[in-house]
Amino acid sequence: MTIQWFPGHMAKARRQVTEKLKLIDIVYELVDARIPQSSRNPMIDEIIVNKPRIVLLNKVDKADPRVTQQWLDYYKEQGIYALAIDAQAGKGMKQIVSSSKELLQEKFDRMRAKGVKKPRAIRAMIVGIPNVGKSTLINRLASKKIAKTGDRPGVTQAQQWIKVGNELELLDTPGILWPKFEDETVGYKLATTGAIKDTILNMQDVAVYALRFLSSHYPEQLKQRYDLNEIPEDIVELFDAIGARRGCLMGGGMVDYDKTAELVLREIRTDKIGTFTFDNPNEAEQQL
């Protein structure tokens, strides 16, 4: 479910995350590996302040492996723990636990030094914008199906801890944060990957963005999928070529641009054209 975020929602969501932070040792910041920058909440650093954090690049199966590696290198350079995971297939789950232990080693050593003989389990929570895979990850780590709580920022629930082996406890409700809508390109990237609802932005505009991006970054995959010898520079010609080849036509044989836009976006989201990453670490505008 994608919700519309209003200032009141944002304030409430932030308050709820801040409340939960008191209960935990570590934050798992879940982002979409296809758009690690655009799918993170711009205020996350301010919100989690000094809590240890691991950035989890989820849906890595849908991202460009070469750029995923660049992102991992980038985080490493910044001194930030980051892991590439596929919550749907359960890949990377063990590393989440081992990295958490590594990151909290000092804190738990200090507890031991103060005489705590058997330190408690590490307490963690997942935060992220809607659709990045928070529920999927919770279910994976819990190894059982937990009911989806929905992305309503106003909803408060009793907290419960999910045991992940003996060493980790996870809050059963994730912290839901808002994406940064005001930036047009970020909006297009979120829409291209399906993170925001199709009704929020004009589908043709989103498809124009996506096709331009693929034309410049992944031309071979685009040519192959739509059987193009060359990619026309003119975006209307590109729509015409794809629409005609795929039979997205109106009466009279004219290409239907809405249908073509829908088709292209559906095929990008279902990885029919290839696996892509739309954010580049070299262009990461914000300090992490």
**Is there a binding annotation on residue 236?**
no
- If the CB atoms of residues 105 and 143 are measured against ligand G4P, the closer one turns out to be 143
**Is there a binding annotation on residue 49?**
no
**Is there a binding annotation on residue 260?**
no
**Is there a binding annotation on residue 58?**
yes
Q: How many CB atoms lie within 10 A of CB 258?
A: 14
Q: Helices 184-192 and 203-217, interaxial angle, to 10°?
A: 90
- Point out the residue whose Cβ comes nearest to ligand G4P: 133
| Per-residue tokens: 141 | 């780590």
- Kindly state the smallest distance separating residue 240's Cβ from ligand G4P, in Å: 30
Residues that bind ligand G4P (CB under 6 A): 58-59, 61-62, 86-88, 128, 130-136, 151
In whole angstroms, give the CA distance from residue 200 to residue 198: 6
- If the CB atoms of residues 88 and 204 are measured against ligand G4P, the closer one turns out to be 88
Pick left, alpha or beta for residue 46 (phi over 0 → left; psi -120 to 50 → alpha; otherwise beta).
alpha
SS3 (DSSP) at 203: helix
- Kindly state the smallest distance separating residue 239's Cβ from ligand G4P, in Å: 26
Buried b (16+ CB within 10 A) or exposed e, 152-174: ebeeeeeeeebebeeebbbbbbb
- Kindly state the smallest distance separating residue 151's Cβ from ligand G4P, in Å: 6
Q: Which amino acid is at 156?
A: T
- Kindly state the smallest distance separating residue 132's Cβ from ligand G4P, in Å: 5
**Is there a binding annotation on residue 243?**
no
- Kindly state the smallest distance separating residue 148's Cβ from ligand G4P, in Å: 6
- If the CB atoms of residues 87 and 263 are measured against ligand G4P, the closer one turns out to be 87
- If the CB atoms of residues 2 and 215 are measured against ligand G4P, the closer one turns out to be 2
Choose among 2, 52, 3, 61: nearest CA to 32. Answer: 61
- If the CB atoms of residues 194 and 281 are measured against ligand G4P, the closer one turns out to be 194
- Kindly state the smallest distance separating residue 11's Cβ from ligand G4P, in Å: 20
**Is there a binding annotation on residue 131?**
yes
In whole angstroms, give the CA distance from residue 154 to residue 4: 12
- If the CB atoms of residues 173 and 241 are measured against ligand G4P, the closer one turns out to be 173
**Is there a binding annotation on residue 136?**
yes
In whole angstroms, give the CA distance from residue 203 to residue 192: 9
The CA-atom distances, in angstroms, between 62 and each of 35, 89, 233 are: 11, 12, 27
**Is there a binding annotation on residue 132?**
yes
| Residues making up the binding site for GTP | 58-61, 131-136, 175
